[in-house]
Amino acid sequence: IGTKISSVIFSFAFSSQELKKLGLGSEVDLQVYEVPVEYQTVQSLVPSLWKQYHPLLVIHVGVSGMTATVTLEKCGRNHGYKGLDNRSFCPDSQCCIVGGPDCIDSVLDMESVAKRVTASGLGVAVSVSKDAGR
């Protein structure tokens, strides 16, 4: 996945005008974070963000230099991680959370979200992944 995440994520961040175009306006407190591709950072940062914001909705977005789209993750997988992260680390267990569920599926219709964002005129192409991080 690499380290060229920040420029894509921050160019994808919606401004207040763009939220209004989507009918969301001031009702949404949008928080955008760059989460490095680092197992240990994710294990500490993501729970701290949940604790800080108590979100009603979180959408994890995959960004890769190997694709021309922003990728919405339909599910999060816990096992089968064999590749090194940006710090050249891979857990011996090959999983993100030992004892955690194999997969956490989104309840959102990500295909519809991707179609609407792509067609919105925001200039962002969006795709859906069912195999997060791979």
Catalytic residues: 73
Q: Are 19 and 28 in contact (CB under 8 A)?
A: yes
Note the helical H segments in the chain: 6-12, 16-21, 39-53, 110-119
Q: Are 125 and 70 in contact (CB under 8 A)?
A: yes
Give the integer Cα–Cα distance in Å for 24 and 19. 5
The beta strand positions in 32-131, using DSSP E, are 61-62, 70-73, 75-77, 103-105, 126-129
Residues sharing a CB contact under 8 Å with residue 110, sequence separation 6 or more, in sequence order: 72, 73, 74, 128
